[in-house]
Structure 1
């Protein structure tokens, strides 16, 4: 079926899951999740397949290394990685819709290439300007994390040290819960977000590219 938006019941489901994140609630309401969240997200990934193929994340949290996590995620995400290396992510939750593009997490090999390109004046000044312009267009600049100081081998007083300390580079927009999230306009808004981040993604693909590390060592 064609994507027509996320129904209001999808928000209701996540609000209730947030209040009762238990196996009993999940088992009783799993079909609501499938109908109101999983099915529309599957249809949306199909509509945006030119940025995919997409992987939809499991609704269950991995509790092996953190016993304090709730058993079920209170959002549904989907991630696609293009051949050049840039990733495209979208997420739906009770807080609404968000979309992101870039390199949220970089492997060790990617970090080396990224930092060296940021240090070099020509490429470094270019990405600095692109990120500043994206901020002006109301993108949030993020990553999986960043170092508190300069990484080993890099000057802590470098003029672009804020970029050098990053462990990734991603642009995102949080759309909230406007009425259009219940319509097919979601596809347009997500696509516009990704298109607006294309210049940063193109820079990353050109100067960083995909990781050659084993997939098991990366979060995606």
Structure 2
């Protein structure tokens, strides 16, 4: 029997979106806890599938409670289920994310959400020196049909110390290196959904191999590990 996203996950979050308050949630908390148990099985199973082609160090399922301390949005609960998959550090870089939300808002994401200052500078210097390998990865038909192009934040102009006329300035300006893939509710509830997500994650590997190599070597290609 295949492990699938329980349909009640989408139903519950649709109801929660219309009743996002503590009284309603506390009344329906047993329903949520039952869904949470099933969804943790889903995320852990996906982690096992990913171990066949990557080294996953940690599977983390995020809590439903929102941190509202510094947010204008004071609604107490998330209206989605989400989790992340960390690769084995320090030799493997990048991460994976799976977001399940009703009304065709589900998506998966992968890449580098918040590279630290040193890593970002190292990536930019690599692109400044030679961006051809990154261009080839992005242009690959299989890769492109699955993941498209980068999303994420970028500078409006060149970072300090870089030529704004550099032919790779479109890559150098980026602050995040993220790919996303959207799914409909119908997609999410298919029997082979987890297999399709795993297959998409498998296809990100050329990008991860390249970035891991960049971030574990200096500009001369010498290992830093």
Bin the TM-score by the shorter chain. 0.7 to 0.9
Cα 1:152–1:132 change in 2 (3 A) is same
What secondary structure, in the 3-state scheme, does the structure 2 residue paired with 1:53 have? Answer: strand
SS at match of 2:98: strand
| Cα offset, 1:184, TM superposition | 4.5
Normalised by the size of structure 1, how large is the TM-score? 0.83
**What are the residue-to-residue correspondences of 1:1-150 with 2, within 5 Å?**
4-36=3-35, 38-47=36-45, 48-49=47-48, 50=51, 51-83=56-88, 84-94=92-102, 95=104, 97-121=106-130, 124-133=131-140, 136-150=144-158
**3-state SS of paired residue (2:10):** helix
Query: Offset at 1:142?
Result: 4.2
Change (3 A) 1:201 1:147: same
Among residues 177, 182, 186, which one is paired with 2:189 in the alignment? 182
Cα distance, 1:154 vs. partner? 1.2
Distance apart, 1:204 and its partner CA: 1.2
Show CA shifts across 1:82-126 (max 9, x none).
1212201111111354222221221111101111111112xx111
Residue correspondence of structure 1 range 160-179 to structure 2 within 5 A: 160-178=168-186
What is the alpha-carbon distance in structure 1 between the residues aligned to residue 152 and residue 60 of structure 2?
19
Residue 222 of structure 2 corresponds to none
1:199 aligned residue: 206
CA–CA distance in structure 2, aligned partners of residues 78 and 200 of structure 1: 21
Correspondence 1:148-159 to 2 at 5 A: 148-159=156-167
Structure showing greater radius of gyration is 2
Question: Aligned-pair RMSD on alpha carbons?
Answer: 2.1
CA distance in 2, matches of 1:143, 1:23: 35
What is the aligned residue count? 204
Q: Which residue of 1 aligns with 2:220?
A: none
SS in 2 for 1:190: helix
Cα pair distance change 1:153/1:78, threshold 3 Å: same
Instruction: Please identify, of 90-99 and 168-177, the stretch whose mean Cα deviation from structure 2 is larger.
Output: 90-99
Gaps in structure 2 of 5+ consecutive residues: 217-225
**TM-score scaled by length of structure 2:** 0.81
